[in-house]
Amino acid sequence: MRSQKEHSLDNRIIELIRELKLSGKAEEAAWIIIGDDEIQAMQEYANTVSIVRLGYNDHGPVHMRTVSVNALLMLGLLRNAGIRTSVEKEESGIFEDSLIAILLAAFLHDIGMTVSRHDHEIHSVYMAYPILERILKQVYATDTQKRVMIQSLALEGISGHMGNHTIHSLEAGLILIADGCDMTKGRARIPMARAEAPKVGDIHKYSANSIEDVRLLRGDEKPIRIEIHMSSEVGLFQVEEVLLTKIAASPAKIYIELFAQVLGGKPKRYL
């Protein structure tokens, strides 16, 4: 059963798509993805493995929906700035195709956590493949070329979301950054509540717990401005070791401004 938070994020995804005033295919795809029971089950079990078994932060339905919202926000900001996606530049598709590929990648990028944290992005790729085939046959029933292109683009976004594999498309680059932007204390709420002995990797949950807000806005000099607001400087670890590393590996880096600020302090500009 989907949580209230999940429903809220689902509504936000649809709202963002409608704001772009597209043909309707993207919204059709979004409802199919949101309502898919297999995707939901994989997301939920990924969270069980991540939180209960491994003591990590959220890698489940809320996280993957949050990444979707982050990616759609950035995609919209780029479109408003006149920036074309890789698919548009290559003339292999239109903006709406890029959006659908991004949405699929966002909803499926962490399902490999059901198998293992190590190489989970690669596990996600082979687990996502049949789901992508099934969904794209519903949305692009008679267009084999589009199905192949969007499936490939989504798989690039999935395989590249950790920054361990080189990616080249703007679409995959947005998934990489959108994933890194989900760092607020809400994501670390369950691991922080579980009383366990200290272990390697705890810095991630403590640093994430100090992140109060992440804002994706129109930039002053570049299309996208990312603002990180934190309660203490421990959050800088999350910014510098996680988000900044992902932005550096993303083809979308040239469009990003990045600021971090401890509450009551002066903003620090990274990009």
pLDDT digits (tens, 9 = 90+) for 166-204: 999 999 999 999 999 999 875 555 554 554 555 545 555
Question: CA 127 to CA 108: how far, in whole Å?
Answer: 9
pLDDT digits (tens, 9 = 90+) for 87-117: 999 999 999 999 999 999 999 999 999 999 9
DSSP-derived 3-state class of residue 198: coil
The model carries a pTM of: 0.92
Q: State the pLDDT at residue 185.
A: 79
From edge to edge, which strands make up the β-sheet containing 224-230?
A: 211-218, 224-230, 256-262, 268-269
Q: How many domains does the chain have?
A: 1
pLDDT digits (tens, 9 = 90+) for 65-79: 999 999 999 999 999
Taking residue 32's Cβ as centre, other Cβ atoms within 10 Å add up to 17
Q: Please enumerate in sequence order all residues whose Cβ is within 8 A of that of 239, keeping only pairs 6 or more positions apart, or say none.
A: 183, 228, 258, 260, 270
Q: For residue 119, what is the domain's CATH number?
A: 1.10.1300
Q: State the pLDDT at residue 207.
A: 75
Question: CA 183 to CA 154: how far, in whole Å?
Answer: 22
pLDDT digits (tens, 9 = 90+) for 129-175: 999 999 999 999 999 999 999 999 999 999 999 999 999 999 999 99
- For the chain, report the end-to-end CA distance as a whole number of angstroms: 41
Give the pLDDT band (50/70/90) at residue 246. Answer: very high
Return the H-helix or E-strand segment holding 40: helix 37-47
pLDDT digits (tens, 9 = 90+) for 226-243: 999 999 999 999 999 999
- Residues listed for the chain: 271
Give the pLDDT band (50/70/90) at residue 126. Answer: very high
Question: CA 168 to CA 188: how far, in whole Å?
Answer: 31
- Is pLDDT larger for residue 129 or for residue 264? 129
CA angle 232, 240, 47 (to 5 degrees): 85
Question: CA 157 to CA 220: how far, in whole Å?
Answer: 27
Range of the domain at 170: 4-269
Q: Are 216 and 77 within 8 A, CB to CB?
A: yes
**Summary mean pLDDT of the chain:** 93
